Amino acid sequence: MNLKERFKNALHQRDVDKVPALSVTQTGTVEFMEATGSWWPDAHYDAKKMVDLAMAGHEIGGLEAVRIPYCLTVLAEVVGCGVREGSEDTQPSVDTHPEEMGIPDSLEEAGRVPEILKATEMAKEITDGEVPIIVGIEAPDELAAHVMGSSNYIKGLITNPEHIEQTLEQANKLSIEYAQLVLDSGADAVCVPGYSTLDIVDPNSFQNLIKPTYKEFANQVEGDVIMHMCGHITQIIDDLADCGFQGISVEELTDIQEAKKIIDGRASLIGNISTSQTMLDGTPQQVKKEAKKCLQDGVDILAPGCGIAPRTPTKNIKALIQARNEHQK
């Protein structure tokens, strides 16, 4: 069983020889940048640098997938948001919002999309199609929030839900099209970090606006989709499992045993070692301890709970794979 087969089997809850140990969220670290000479922010814009850095996560860190890119601003930029490019240890971020979402004539040729597609193809070629390629893209609600600005998005859910619905519809079309382009270029899965947790939206808005949007996304995209969600999501995990995602990726605030019970086989569960504390500031022993608890609790794929912090030491990334190997002798 090669790494890609192992990943696909785990994602679809079929038998595996080992639980895959990888990251569905960002993997660019300063140590990997030093090792490859591919630095942020350049690696956000140039396909070759993007892939070189991503390969370090696999070849040096031992992660059993190649994960690109390192930000969630590709579509935001395409529709007209201003993007600050960040530094070697901060990700690009949206800093201005367009009046309206600008829809490109050809998404394939817009902004950084061609570089991401090229990077996907390159990663596939380098790994002979034997290592899973996972591409992160903006979820429709994330894109809507980028376009409107977070506070307008949150306010709008209450004061002007019709406008939010329209924006979500437009954003979803674009997210779906982009996901399909990425999958057609050879990605084995897309990871979409959803934005609208109950820390952001009220339960009604989630049911009436967000859930149908996610469902549409999962239904329309042909290929494997992983929903990643940060924050407190125990209350909505049943809804997420209804949407048709192949995998659900959670951070350490979510209890794996409880989540697994609620999901009840409707999706695979991915997570959830703390990136902000254990992986960034802990020792390899602490990472291993947390990883083994995840495995005991029944994760289908062992992974960091969120994007790996750029200052994370490589030894703490390697500890993830060591823990899996020790757990499954």
**Residues in contact with Zn ion by the rule CB under 5 A:** 230, 306
Nearest distance in Å: CB 229, Zn ion: 7
62 or 136: whose CB is closer to Zn ion? 136
Query: Smallest distance from the beta carbon of 250 to Zn ion, in angstroms?
Result: 9
H helical segments located in 98-196: 113-126, 140-148, 150-159, 161-184
Question: In whole angstroms, how close is the CB of 275 to Zn ion at the nearest point?
Answer: 8
Smallest gap from Cβ 326 to Zn ion, in A, equals: 26
For Zn ion, the closer CB: 119 or 230: 230
Q: Which is nearer to Zn ion, 107 or 302 (CB)?
A: 302
Burial of 178-193, coded b for 16+ CB within 10 Å and e otherwise, reads: bbbbbbebbbbbbbbb
- CB of 230 or CB of 319, closer to Zn ion: 230
Q: What sign has the CA pseudo-torsion 185, 26, 143, 40?
A: negative
Q: Give me the least distance between CB of 25 and Zn ion, in Å please.
A: 6
Beta carbon of residue 200, minimum distance to Zn ion (angstroms, whole number): 13
The torsion of the CA quartet 3, 9, 11, 12, rounded to 10 degrees, works out to 160
d(CA 76, CA 146) in angstroms, rounded, equals 6
CA distance 12 to 14: 6
Strand pairing class (66-68; 247-250): unpaired
Distance of alpha carbon 212 from alpha carbon 229, whole angstroms: 16
For the chain, the first-to-last Cα distance in angstroms comes to 17
Beta bridge partners of 191: 136, 226
Residue with CB nearest Zn ion? 306
Give whichever of 164 and 230 is closer to Zn ion, judged by the CB atom: 230
Compare residues 145 and 306 and give the one whose CB is closer to Zn ion. Answer: 306
